[in-house]
């Protein structure tokens, strides 16, 4: 029997699942977009990179729509608070997503001399989207504080998230590419991974310092003995990936999927750390999930639809990745 008190917990879990899957799936294709080479004569490489995300990138954004929808209908108070504080970066993010979508389609119809222009739009649209998402994450962590120190932290978060997206995007390319492009992807992954590692370290240090509640939660004995495993495992994953990438590409393309899977584990660990830091608050230090939740009758009605929609989206996501698994083929338009 699901009690009224359990309903907000169920919906915040669904919200967290949607955000996590979006960060992983759209994260790698945003990363591929940011890594798009713009040098003259690299049209073939750009085509191959875009071919690696072509069947997936648009569907990956479904999870963002789902997350915003759950926030709106299940936690309307939090939706109003968060969107009010993040109106400008959200608008810029939508602009970046529109620019990506338009560029992806227009490059297929553009003449040869205009195609580099749309490739630039795709790259910079990806960069704008990643930077704004990182900035919004930073604003959420600092409790929507607009002081100079908080703004600097948000800028750090913007570049850290962008580097993390490049990291997982390069991991995706190591798995999907072969030959010279795979070698380049390995180099990109090593560079982005080092920057992302520094970013995670800085955020891990700064977050408890600017949020006393987070510090108390992380360093409360004896819980500290267990929760510190999260950053320990995260840093171990970075080091393991660095060691593996230095040895790649291996004979017969062995373990080509491992760097991407390690990146996924890093995203999962970072998300777990953030969730532990702020639960049960949905607006940090202001509103809990129970205070922000819709009426229990509404949540019960919505839950029926969620139990149909979420498994359906999961099913077609898994199916699409199964159909288009393996190395990316040459880019073709019909």
Higher pLDDT, 75 or 251: 75
- Residue entry with tokens 């939740």: 293
Mean pLDDT rounded to a whole number for the chain = 87
CA dihedral of residues 198, 204, 209, 214 (deg, nearest 10): 170
pLDDT per position as a tens digit, 14-72:
999 999 999 999 999 999 999 988 886 677 888 888 888 878 877 888 888 899 999 99
pLDDT per position as a tens digit, 130-153:
999 999 999 998 888 888 888 888
pLDDT per position as a tens digit, 147-179:
888 888 899 899 999 999 999 999 999 988 888
**Mean local confidence (pLDDT), 106-129:** 85
CA proximity to 136, closest of 93, 200, 105, 168: 93
Of 102-111, 264-273, 297-306, minimum mean pLDDT range: 102-111
Tell me which residue range forms the domain holding 290.
6-323
Tell me what pLDDT residue 244 has: 92
In a domain, 330, yes or no: no
Whether the pLDDT of residue 237 is over 50: the answer is yes
In a domain, 133, yes or no: yes
pLDDT per position as a tens digit, 177-192:
888 888 899 999 999 9
Tell me what pLDDT residue 329 has: 63
Tell me what pLDDT residue 247 has: 87
Which percentage of the chain shows pLDDT scores above 90? 41
| H or E element in which residue 281 lies | strand 281-283
Tell me what pLDDT residue 333 has: 46
Tell me what pLDDT residue 332 has: 52
CA atoms within 13 A on the CB side of 1: 2
CA distance 302 to 310: 12
Residue pair 235/205 in contact (Cβ under 8 Å)? The answer is: no
**Mean local confidence (pLDDT), 325-330:** 69
In a domain, 118, yes or no: yes
CA dihedral of residues 23, 26, 31, 36 (deg, nearest 10): -170
Backbone angles phi, psi at 146, to 5 degrees: -115, 25
How far apart are the two ends of the chain, measured CA to CA in Å? 52
CA distance 7 to 67: 16
Confidence band of 193 (pLDDT split at 50, 70, 90): very high
CATH code, 156: 1.20.1630
DSSP 253: G
> How buried is 18 (Cβ within 10 angstroms: 0-12 exposed, 13-18 middle, 19+ buried)?
buried
Number of structural domains found in the chain: 1
CA proximity to 96, closest of 156, 180, 195, 29: 29
Confidence band of 88 (pLDDT split at 50, 70, 90): very high
Whether the pLDDT of residue 110 is over 80: the answer is no
In a domain, 328, yes or no: no
Residue pair 22/286 in contact (Cβ under 8 Å)? The answer is: no
In a domain, 332, yes or no: no
In a domain, 334, yes or no: no
Whether the pLDDT of residue 91 is over 90: the answer is yes
In a domain, 331, yes or no: no
Tell me what pLDDT residue 334 has: 43
In a domain, 75, yes or no: yes
**Mean local confidence (pLDDT), 72-77:** 91
Q: How far is CA 212 from the centre of its chain?
A: 26
CA atoms within 13 A on the CB side of 240: 15
Beta partners for 183?
none
**Mean local confidence (pLDDT), 239-246:** 92
């Amino acid at each position: 029997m699901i009690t009224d008190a359990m309903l907000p917990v169920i919906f915040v879990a669904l919200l967290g699942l949607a955000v996590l899957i979006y960060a992983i799936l759209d994260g790698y294709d945003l990363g591929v977009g940011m890594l798009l080479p713009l040098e003259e004569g690299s049209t073939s490489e750009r085509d191959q990179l875009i071919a690696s995300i072509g069947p997936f990138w648009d569907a990956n954004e479904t999870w963002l729509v789902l997350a915003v929808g759950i926030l709106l209908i299940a936690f309307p108070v939090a939706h109003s608070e968060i969107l009010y504080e993040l109106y400008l970066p959200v608008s810029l993010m939508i602009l970046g997503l529109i620019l990506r979508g338009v560029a992806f389609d227009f490059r297929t119809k553009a003449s040869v001399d205009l195609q580099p222009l749309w490739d630039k739009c795709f790259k910079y649209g990806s960069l704008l989207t990643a930077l704004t998402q990182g900035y919004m994450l930073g604003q959420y962590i600092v409790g929507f504080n607009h002081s100079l120190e908080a703004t600097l932290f948000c800028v750090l978060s913007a570049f850290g998230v962008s580097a993390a997206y490049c990291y997982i995007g390069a991991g995706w390319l190591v798995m999907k590419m072969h030959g010279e492009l795979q070698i380049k992807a390995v180099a990109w992954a090593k560079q982005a991974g080092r920057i992302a590692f520094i970013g995670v370290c800085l955020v891990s240090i700064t977050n408890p310092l600017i949020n006393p509640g987070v510090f108390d939660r992380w360093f409360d004995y004896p819980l500290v003995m267990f929760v510190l495993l999260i950053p320990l495992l995260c840093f171990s994953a970075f080091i393991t990936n660095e060691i593996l990438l230095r040895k790649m590409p291996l004979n017969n393309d062995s373990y080509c999927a491992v760097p991407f899977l390690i990146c996924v584990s890093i995203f999962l660990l970072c998300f777990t750390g953030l969730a532990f830091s702020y639960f049960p608050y949905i607006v940090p230090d202001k509103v809990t999930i129970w205070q922000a939740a819709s009426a229990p009758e509404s949540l019960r009605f919505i839950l029926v639809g969620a139990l149909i929609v979420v498994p359906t989206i999961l099913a077609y996501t898994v199916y699409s990745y199964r159909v288009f698994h393996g190395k990316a083929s040459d880019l073709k338009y019909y």
